[in-house]
Amino acid sequence: MIVLPKHIQELTPYKPGQSVAEIQQLYGIENVIKLASNENPLGSSPHAIAAINEWVENSYVYPDGGLALRMRLAEKFNRKIENIICHSGSDALIHLALRTFLDEGDELVSSHGTFIGFQVAAKLHGHPVTYVPQTDDYRFDIVALANAITPHTKILYLANVNNPTGTFFSAEEFVWLMERVPQNVLVIMDEAYSEYSRYMYPDFIDSLEYNYQNVLTLRTFSKVYGLAGVRVGYGVASEEIIAPMLRAKLPFDPNTLGQYAAIAALDDTDFIEKTVRLNAQGIELFTKEFRRIGLTSPISAGNFVMVDCGTPEKAQELYMGLLRRGFITRPLGGFSLPHCIRISTGTLEQNLGLVSAMEDAVGEIFKN
């Protein structure tokens, strides 16, 4: 028998949100809407689809490891190509950062209830993580994060916006924290939702404006650009961070179709504008209506809203109640928040349908 390392034995497989087909089959409901994975309800940029169709014929050729996209992003952010890395989603970049920088005895720090992808990657690498409790209003506790850093800390992971809470910290809080983080700690600033956030809050923090030498900023094409299926994300940082990551990266990722779809999507300002506008309306509607219904839910700067149901049992009941009404949402046990569920924004019609299903389900579950 092949003996597994202990930290691999303890891994549980990642459970993605349930698919529409799965729910249709399980419950015999025809009209099922998935608001579970923070995807773009408008689909993908048409420019990106055209690029995929154009490049599909080139599928027999190995990809260039993200070079064309790195060049384009360097131009966009006024950086050198040596400051940019591209990979198969920003999730892959989190894994790559951990693989590149963690050595024996190194530890990580983050917040309780942060992005599941980080929690999985940390477990996979088998290094101890200190998860600092969130504040009572579901935000990262910046002071506690600073205090949790020890001489063994190698990586501090910050998701801003945090998925699944939707909460965020300010530029002042970021600067305060960075003044207390030693230079030899890598800070991963995961900004997967930054385009949505900046539309809703024009002064939303952009970590790229600070040029900290120990910060790796991660972004993705899965959200506002609607390209989750072709798996492209990117990182921006000092050469000191990017060069070793490039050495440790699988040489060909990201794939060619994803890369050229991403390049085309970057310039599709029409699609981006439509997406962020629709999302802001969805967030406003959910925030207002969930409050009216009497739910506890933090203000979100992402494309999703979390609902605190009080107990894991109530969260499961609400998840099932919405499912029976044709809406797939995301239970958050895997994120260490089993008393909560997360709902992504959809089209206006889907959002209105969700609110009505929510009111119905809450009436059935919470009032009994």
Which positions lie near ligand PLP, rule CB under 6 A? 38, 89-91, 115, 117, 159, 163, 190, 192, 220, 222, 228, 233
Residue burial 13-38, b: 16+ Cβ < 10 Å; e: rest: eeeebbeeeebeeeeeeeebbbbbbb
Nearer to ligand PLP, 91 or 253 (CB): 91
Angle CA(333)–CA(338)–CA(339) in degrees, nearest 5?
Answer: 155
- For β-strands 153-159 and 186-190, DSSP reports them as parallel
Nearer to ligand PLP, 163 or 279 (CB): 163
What whole-number distance in Å separates Cα of residue 125 and Cα of residue 5? Answer: 10
Residue 163, CB half-sphere, CA atoms under 13 Å: how many? Answer: 26
Nearer to ligand PLP, 48 or 355 (CB): 48
Query: Cβ-closest residue to ligand PLP?
Result: 89
DSSP, res 343: E
CB of 73 to ligand PLP, least distance (A): 14
What is the radius of gyration, based on Cα positions, of the chain? 20
Nearer to ligand PLP, 112 or 324 (CB): 112
CB of 220 to ligand PLP, least distance (A): 3
CB of 345 to ligand PLP, least distance (A): 14
Nearer to ligand PLP, 66 or 321 (CB): 66
CB of 87 to ligand PLP, least distance (A): 9
Task: Sheet containing 304-308: give its strands across.
Answer: 304-308, 340-344, 330-331
CA dihedral sign, ordered 92, 302, 138, 324: negative
Coil, strand or helix at 365:
helix
CB of 368 to ligand PLP, least distance (A): 33
Residue burial 226-260, b: 16+ Cβ < 10 Å; e: rest: bbbebbbbbbbbbeebbeebbeebeeebbbbbbbb
CB of 313 to ligand PLP, least distance (A): 26
Phi-psi map region of 88: left, alpha, beta (phi>0 left; psi -120 to 50 alpha) = beta
Nearer to ligand PLP, 131 or 366 (CB): 131
Nearer to ligand PLP, 79 or 219 (CB): 219
Nearer to ligand PLP, 164 or 321 (CB): 164
What whole-number distance in Å separates Cα of residue 84 and Cα of residue 67? Answer: 9
Nearer to ligand PLP, 29 or 42 (CB): 42
Angle between helices 256-266 and 46-55 (to 10 degrees): 150
The answer to whether the beta carbons of residues 164 and 117 sit under 8 Å apart is: no
Cα 29–chain centre separation = 29
CB of 264 to ligand PLP, least distance (A): 17
CB of 117 to ligand PLP, least distance (A): 5
CB of 8 to ligand PLP, least distance (A): 21
- The H-or-E segment that residue 236 falls in is strand 233-236
